[in-house]
Amino acid sequence: MADIDTDILIIGGGVAGSAAAYGLSKEGYKVLLLEKSEKPQDTARGDHIQPAVSEILGKWNILEAFFNNGARKRAGSLWFDEDANFLMDANVSKLEIPEPYFMFMNHEDISNVFVSSAEENKGFSFLCPILSCAHIDTNANESIFEIKLKDGETQTAATKMIIIADGVASNMGRFFEFERSAFRYEKALAVLFSDEYEADEFNNLRTYLTDRGIVTMIPRAKGGCKIGLTIGRDEIKEWKKMTSKEHQNFIGGLVPIYENLKMYSAGIYPPSMIIAENWTKDNIVLMGDACHGLHPGRSQGMNTTIKCIDHLLDLLPPNETFEKKNVIQSLNQYQKLMKSNINELLEANHAMGISMDNFDKKSKVQEIEKFKFLEKNFEEGQSYRMKSAGYGVF
Handedness of CA 376, 382, 383, 387 (dihedral sign): positive
Residue 11 binds ligand FAD (CB under 6 A): yes
Pick one of 81, 289, 310, 367: the residue that binds ligand FAD (CB under 6 A): 289
100 vs 296, which CB is nearer to ligand FAD?
A: 296
| Contact stretch for ligand FAD (CB under 6 A) within 46-54, 205-213, 233-241, 333-341 | 46-54
Angle, helices 361-376/378-388, rounded to nearest 10 degrees: 110
- Would you count residue 165 as binding ligand FAD (CB under 6 A)? yes
3-state secondary structure of 271: coil
What DSSP element (H or E) covers 320?
A: none
- Taking residue 60's Cβ as centre, other Cβ atoms within 10 Å add up to 20
| Distance between CA atoms of residues 16 and 13, nearest Å | 7
Cβ atoms of residues 38 and 56 within 8 Å: no
Asked if 34 touches ligand FAD (CB under 6 A), the answer is yes
Closer to ligand FAD by Cβ: residue 202 or 269: 269
Options 118, 172, 308, 342; binder of ligand FAD; rule CB under 6 A: 172
Q: How far is residue 45's CA from residue 167's CA, in Å, rounded to a whole number?
A: 13
Of 269, 276, 300, 308, the residue nearest 290 (C-alpha): 276
Q: Which of 230, 303, 330, 349 binds ligand FAD (CB under 6 A)?
A: 303
Stretch that binds ligand FAD, among 9-17, 209-217, 339-347, 363-371 (CB under 6 A): 9-17
Residues 6+ apart with CB under 8 A from 32: 4, 6, 8, 9, 10, 125, 126, 127, 157, 159
Q: In the complex with ligand FAD, which residue's Cβ is closer, 272 or 326?
A: 272
State the Cα–Cα distance between residues 145 and 134, nearest whole angstrom.
Answer: 5
302 makes contact with ligand FAD (CB under 6 A): yes
On the CB side of 80, how many CA atoms lie within 13 Å of its CA? 18
Q: Which of 117, 216, 283, 300 binds ligand FAD (CB under 6 A)?
A: 300
Instruction: Give the footprint of ligand FAD on residues 175-194 (CB under 6 A).
Output: 189, 191
**Of 42, 43, 73, residue with least CA distance to 57:** 73
Please identify, using beta-carbon distances, which residue of 191 and 217 lies nearer to ligand FAD: 191
CB of 327 to ligand FAD, least distance (A): 21
Supply the minimum distance, in Å, between the C-beta of residue 248 and ligand FAD.
20
Q: Compute the least distance from the CB of residue 77 to ligand FAD, in Å.
A: 12
- Site mask for ligand FAD (CB under 6 A), range 244-283, x = bound: -------------------------x--------------
Number of H helices, E strands in the chain: 11, 21
Query: Count residues contacting ligand FAD (CB under 6 A)?
Result: 37
Closest contact distance (angstroms) between CB of 186 and ligand FAD is 16
CB half-sphere exposure, 87, CA atoms < 13 A: 24
**Site for ligand FAD (CB under 6 A): which residue of 7, 8, 9, 17?**
17
Binding flag, residue 239, ligand FAD (CB under 6 A): no
Q: Determine if 44 is a binding residue for ligand FAD (CB under 6 A).
A: yes
- For residue 289, what is the DSSP state? G
Residue 344 CB partners (closer than 8 Å, separation 6+): 393, 394
Instruction: Name which position in 26, 45, 180, 220 contacts ligand FAD (CB under 6 A).
Output: 45
Burial bucket for residue 262 (CB in 10 Å: 0-12, 13-18, 19+): middle
Candidates 64-72, 207-215, 302-310, 312-320 — which segment interacts with ligand FAD by CB under 6 A? 302-310
Does position 213 bind ligand FAD by CB under 6 A? no
List residues near ligand FAD by CB under 6 A. 11-17, 34-37, 41, 44-48, 130, 133, 165-167, 171-172, 189, 191, 269, 288-290, 296, 299-303, 305
